[in-house]
């Protein structure tokens, strides 16, 4: 045997885990994370898309409702003018054909009604016995053929008419008018016509202030603009855009259009009852599109952030898992126990089961939330529709009844029947209280279903106060005195809500003060905090100290057990929405001062 030493074969090195195994695990986990995220991101995108679409639909319904309300109000005002003419036609002197007495009555009516420029009478052949814009007996020109053609339905069929924009034969200005049959007894059948101020039509259109960027207009039978919310002096008398005319001719009530100044808008249209006119309201399309783009951008940003976080988490877990797998493989090849114990595997299994259960619970909760949301939206829509029914079905007959009472009261007072006119005045006052109560009830419903934020706009303070005073009964307006302690002319607020709050305070102050005594509206401001201050000061008997804590609560009781109305609760709610306050600044036997503080930093 050889003495050469035996050389044992070298031990083979342990096989190494391929480097790309870790990358494969990382890629696999990242892919699984993305696949898990995709349905959630898709559902979130769909939910936000649906919510955005529902918001747009609700906004469009609100726009259409406001358009219909504006058209209805214009129609009611025209009907009220007809009521005045009908009351004049029932006078005994008119029925007897006394033209001089009829002229005198028409002059009084035209002077008493700020909506009417003048009243004229014309027969079927075009002869004008009088026009209140000229002295009685003064020679008057014959109406041009176009105007005679407009009154043909009156002379031939006894119908009443509402004219488009025409040039008056006396004033030579652009005007609109209404006409109806007038029986002058021995003097024969005539047509009585009333010319209406274009400014009055603009005031009817803008009774409730439109959002600053919106554009509203009243268009006549010939598609001529006769009133506009913006730049009325520039556009009244011009023809509506061809795109608007084409869509209206097709019977559409909501469509995309362009205003006269070139702004792309979403337009809603409503016919003015009893006329050939219609109201068109445009809301900038850019704002709607920006809202959609903003919502979708938020979705994409949130999705990208979630995806990046998921990938980063997956890569981190893959790295940790790769290390453990390499340790297990190395231990198996070397014949030693692996680093993963049974306890670890059991914990991983329990964690996996817990994650699966949590995912199922999250899916169920998401479904329940979606169902609850759809149910809430349906209830909100139903409540909005009920408010529309109340606004249309309750307010219209009350407004018509109020106009008829006013006309009857004027006629009885003119004929010297003061005793008979007094009950009508009391009935008119009661009807006014009923209208105010119904208006406050509808306002409370709208405020309760609204949000907790308002969009303030730069509002003319003097115009706001004038509109609130104009809401008071005609005989009471002269009692309101405005005092200024500041040169500030505008402030940020929601004018419709502030008008409602100020109107309720003025109504209370006039009612609580002695008859004929003045009620003061004082305008001031403060620097810290930066705020507009409106004080309403009456000369009533004051408010009991025990009543003050519950004064602005809904349903609180007055002394004697009677529940107080909704007026002060509405004032309190409006100021909450403005992030301001209403408070009793002073109250004594000599009167009460109610203060509205509109915080300018808080109105957004």
pLDDT at 178: 93
Residues 6+ away with beta carbon under 8 Å from 449: 380, 383, 384
Q: Could you read off the pLDDT of 531-556 as tens digits, one per residue?
A: 999 999 999 988 888 888 888 887 66
pLDDT at 360: 80
pLDDT at residue 277 greater than cutoff 90: yes
pLDDT at 366: 76
For the four alpha carbons of 429, 433, 438 and 440, in that order, the dihedral sign comes to: positive
Least confident of 33-42, 63-72, 354-363: 33-42
pLDDT band at 494 (very low <50, low <70, confident <90, very high): confident
Q: Give the mean pLDDT of 115-129.
A: 89
pLDDT band at 470 (very low <50, low <70, confident <90, very high): confident
Higher pLDDT, 69 or 456: 69
pLDDT at 332: 60
Residue 331 buriedness (CB in 10 A; 0-12 / 13-18 / 19+): middle
Least confident of 13-27, 191-205, 372-386, 515-529: 13-27
pLDDT band at 4 (very low <50, low <70, confident <90, very high): very low
pLDDT band at 19 (very low <50, low <70, confident <90, very high): very low
492 SS3 class = strand
What string of DSSP letters covers 548-588?
GGGTTSTT-B-TTSPBP-SHHHHHHHHHHHTT-EEEEEEEE
pLDDT at 482: 95
CB atoms within 10 A of CB 289: 12
Structure tokens at 492: 């940020």
pLDDT at 281: 94
Contact 253, 270 (CB under 8 A): yes
pLDDT at residue 440 greater than cutoff 80: no
For the four alpha carbons of 160, 164, 169 and 172, in that order, the dihedral sign comes to: positive
Q: Give the mean pLDDT of 59-73.
A: 88
Express as a percent the part of the chain with pLDDT over 70: 65
Region at 284 (left for phi over 0; alpha for psi -120 to 50; beta for the rest): beta
Q: In angstroms, how far is CA 169 from the centroid of its own chain? A: 40
pLDDT at 367: 77
pLDDT at residue 390 greater than cutoff 80: no
Express as a percent the part of the chain with pLDDT over 90: 27
CA distances from 108 to 81, 114, 452 (A): 14, 11, 49
Higher pLDDT, 427 or 501: 501
Region at 158 (left for phi over 0; alpha for psi -120 to 50; beta for the rest): left
Q: Give the mean pLDDT of 5-22.
A: 45
Give a three-class secondary structure readout of 132-186: CCCCCCCCCCCCCHHHHHHCHHHHHHCCCEECCCEECCCCCCEEEEEEEEEECHH
CA distances from 167 to 143, 159, 187, 195 (A): 10, 22, 28, 11
> Which one-letter DSSP state was computed for residue 592?
E
pLDDT at 74: 92
CA distances from 395 to 287, 389, 476 (A): 32, 10, 22
Structure-derived torsion over alpha carbons of residues 506, 507, 508, 512, reported in degrees to the nearest 10: 100
Pairing of strands 174-183, 189-196: antiparallel
Least confident of 279-283, 331-335, 591-595: 331-335
Q: Give the mean pLDDT of 329-354.
A: 62
Contact 166, 175 (CB under 8 A): yes
pLDDT at residue 182 greater than cutoff 60: yes
Considering 19-28, 228-237, 280-289, 399-408, the range whose residues carry the highest mean pLDDT is: 228-237
Contact 17, 329 (CB under 8 A): yes
According to DSSP, the residues that pair with 35 across neighbouring strands are none
Least confident of 166-180, 490-504, 556-570: 556-570
CB atoms within 10 A of CB 429: 14
Least confident of 166-180, 188-202, 449-463, 497-511: 449-463
Average pLDDT, the chain: 78
Contact 532, 459 (CB under 8 A): no
Q: Could you read off the pLDDT of 161-173 as tens digits, one per residue?
A: 999 988 877 767 7
Higher pLDDT, 1 or 422: 422
Report the distance separating Cα 177 and Cα 195, nearest Å.
Answer: 4
pLDDT at residue 387 greater than cutoff 60: no
Q: Give the mean pLDDT of 15-30.
A: 51
pLDDT band at 23 (very low <50, low <70, confident <90, very high): very low
pLDDT at residue 18 greater than cutoff 80: no
> Which one-letter DSSP state was computed for residue 240?
P
Task: List, edge to edge, every strand of the sheet that includes 278-284.
Answer: 225-228, 215-219, 278-284, 264-271, 254-258
Q: Give the mean pLDDT of 324-339.
A: 63
pLDDT at 321: 65
Q: Which of 355, 321, 299 is nearest to 36 (CA)?
A: 355
Give a three-class secondary structure readout of 346-386: HHHHHHHHHHHHHHHHHHHHHHHHHHHHHHHHHHHHHHHHH
pLDDT at 467: 85
pLDDT at 536: 96
Convert 510-533 to b/e letters by CB count within 10 Å (16 or more is b): bebbeeeeebbbbbebeeeeebbb
CB atoms within 10 A of CB 560: 5
pLDDT band at 5 (very low <50, low <70, confident <90, very high): very low
Angle at 142 between CA 136 and CA 143, to 5 degrees: 110
CB atoms within 10 A of CB 416: 9
- Identify whether 529 is preceded by a cis peptide bond (ω within 30 of 0): yes
For the four alpha carbons of 63, 64, 65 and 67, in that order, the dihedral sign comes to: positive
pLDDT band at 364 (very low <50, low <70, confident <90, very high): confident
Q: Give the mean pLDDT of 299-307.
A: 67
Number of H helices, E strands in the chain: 14, 18
Higher pLDDT, 139 or 1: 139
Report the distance separating Cα 568 and Cα 350, nearest Å.
Answer: 61
Q: Could you read off the pLDDT of 227-262 as tens digits, one per residue?
A: 999 888 899 999 999 999 999 999 999 999 999 888
pLDDT at residue 341 greater than cutoff 60: no
pLDDT at residue 106 greater than cutoff 80: yes
Report the distance separating Cα 427 and Cα 421, nearest Å.
Answer: 10
CA distances from 463 to 87, 283, 322, 467 (A): 33, 23, 75, 6
């Amino acid at each position: 045997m050889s003495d050469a030493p035996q050389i044992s074969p070298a031990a083979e090195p342990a096989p190494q885990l391929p480097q790309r195994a870790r990358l494969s695990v990382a890629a696999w986990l990242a892919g699984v994370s993305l696949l898990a995220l995709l349905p959630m991101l898709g559902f979130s995108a769909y939910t936000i898309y649906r919510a955005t679409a529902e918001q747009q639909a609700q906004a469009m319904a609100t726009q259409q409702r406001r358009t219909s309300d504006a058209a209805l109000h214009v129609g009611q005002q025209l009907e009220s003018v007809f009521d005045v003419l009908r009351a004049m036609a029932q006078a005994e002197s008119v029925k007897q054909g006394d033209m001089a007495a009829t002229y005198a009555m028409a002059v009084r009516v035209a002077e008493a009604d700020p909506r009417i420029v003048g009243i004229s009478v014309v027969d079927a052949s075009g002869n004008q016995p009088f026009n209140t814009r000229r002295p009685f007996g003064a020679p008057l020109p014959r109406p041009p053929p176009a105007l005679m053609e407009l009154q043909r339905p009156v002379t031939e069929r006894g119908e009443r008419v509402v004219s488009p924009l025409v040039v008056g034969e006396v004033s030579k200005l652009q005007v609109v008018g209404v006409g109806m049959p007038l029986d002058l007894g021995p003097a024969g059948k005539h047509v009585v016509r009333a010319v209406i101020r274009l400014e009055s039509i603009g005031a009817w259109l803008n009774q409730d202030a439109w959002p600053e960027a919106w554009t509203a207009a009243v268009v006549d039978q010939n598609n001529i603009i006769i009133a506009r919310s913006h730049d009325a002096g520039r556009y009244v008398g011009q023809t509506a855009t061809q795109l608007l005319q084409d869509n209206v001719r097709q019977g559409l009530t909501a469509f995309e259009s362009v205003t006269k100044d070139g702004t792309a808008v979403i337009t809603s249209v409503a016919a003015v009852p009893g006329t050939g006119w219609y109201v068109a309201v445009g809301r900038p399309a850019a704002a709607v599109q920006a809202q959609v783009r903003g919502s979708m951008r938020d979705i994409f940003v949130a999705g990208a952030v979630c995806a990046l976080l998921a990938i980063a988490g997956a890569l981190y877990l893959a790295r940790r898992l790769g290390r453990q797998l390499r340790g297990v493989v190395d231990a198996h090849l070397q014949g030693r126990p692996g680093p993963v114990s049974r306890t670890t595997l059991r914990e991983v299994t329990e964690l996996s089961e817990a994650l699966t259960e949590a995912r199922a619970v999250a899916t169920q909760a998401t479904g329940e939330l979606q169902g609850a949301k759809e149910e809430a939206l349906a209830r909100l829509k139903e409540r909005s529709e009920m408010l529309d029914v109340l606004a249309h079905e309750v307010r219209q007959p009350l407004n018509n009844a109020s106009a008829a009472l006013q006309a009857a009261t004027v006629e009885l007072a003119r004929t010297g029947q003061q005793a008979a006119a007094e009950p009508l005045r009391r009935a008119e006052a009661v009807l006014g209280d009923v209208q105010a109560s119904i208006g406050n009830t509808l306002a409370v419903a709208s405020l309760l279903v609204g949000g907790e934020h308002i969009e303030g706009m730069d509002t003319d303070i003097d115009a706001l106060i004038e509109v609130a005073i104009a809401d008071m009964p005609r005989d009471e307006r002269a009692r309101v005195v405005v005092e200024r302690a500041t040169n500030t002319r505008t402030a940020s607020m929601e004018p419709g809500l502030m008008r409602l709050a100020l109107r309720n305070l003025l109504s209370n102050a006039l009612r609580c003060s002695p008859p004929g005594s003045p009620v003061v509206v004082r305008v001031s401001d403060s620097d810290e905090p930066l705020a507009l201050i409106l004080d309403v000061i009456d000369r009533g008997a004051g408010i009991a100290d025990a009543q003050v804590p519950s004064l602005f609560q809904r349903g609180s009781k007055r002394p004697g057990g009677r529940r107080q109305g909704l007026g002060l609760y509405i004032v309190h709610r409006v100021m909450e929405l403005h992030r301001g306050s209403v408070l009793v600044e002073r109250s004594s036997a000599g009167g009460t001062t109610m203060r509205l503080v509109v915080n300018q930093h808080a109105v957004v």
